[in-house]
Amino acid sequence: MAEVWFEWLFADLTCKYGTDWKRPILLWLAAVNLIFPPLLFWTTKSVEGLSSSLSFLDYEYFSIVTATTLGYGDYHPFGVGRIIASIEALFGMFMWAVFLTVFARKYMR
């Protein structure tokens, strides 16, 4: 059962078994711009920065920097935000790999 769920999540949902290049891009954009900043970082208030109060765009910026694994250092997570940021960084690295695999497969056919 776990194998079927894992295959559905990582092969079918993310890229339709390597045949749909739009799906990883849309999934990445949705997660980085809609799920992580407003639902996770903003609700938990688990990111500190240069100013005492962060706007939604600050959380958005932190999310993009984390997902691309740049990590400029002007904002940093604390508490549960560290776990969320770690998950987002792993998600970002995984989605780059998926996109590159789908892109390569498309041009190898």
- Residues 27-50: pLDDT tens digits? 888 988 889 887 899 999 999 988
pLDDT in tens, 55-79: 888 999 999 999 998 888 899 999 9
List the single range of 20-24, 25-29, 80-84 with lowest mean pLDDT. 20-24
List the single range of 9-13, 76-80, 84-88 with lowest mean pLDDT. 9-13
Whether the per-residue pLDDT at 11 is higher than 80: the answer is no
| Cα–Cα distance for residue pair 47/51, rounded to 1 Å | 11
Label residue 73 left, alpha or beta by phi (over 0 means left) and psi (-120 to 50 means alpha): left
| Distance (Å) of CA 51 to CA 8, 38, 72, 89, 106 | 42, 18, 16, 24, 45
* Whether the Cβ atoms of residue 77 and residue 53 lie closer than 8 Å to each other: no
Q: What is the percent of the chain with per-residue pLDDT over 70, rounded to a whole number?
A: 99
Residue 25, classified by CB atoms within 10 Å of its CB into exposed (0-12), middle (13-18) or buried (19+), is middle
More confident residue, 95 or 14: 95
| The pLDDT value given to residue 109 | 66
**Nearest Cα to 70, choosing from 53, 87, 93, 102?**
93
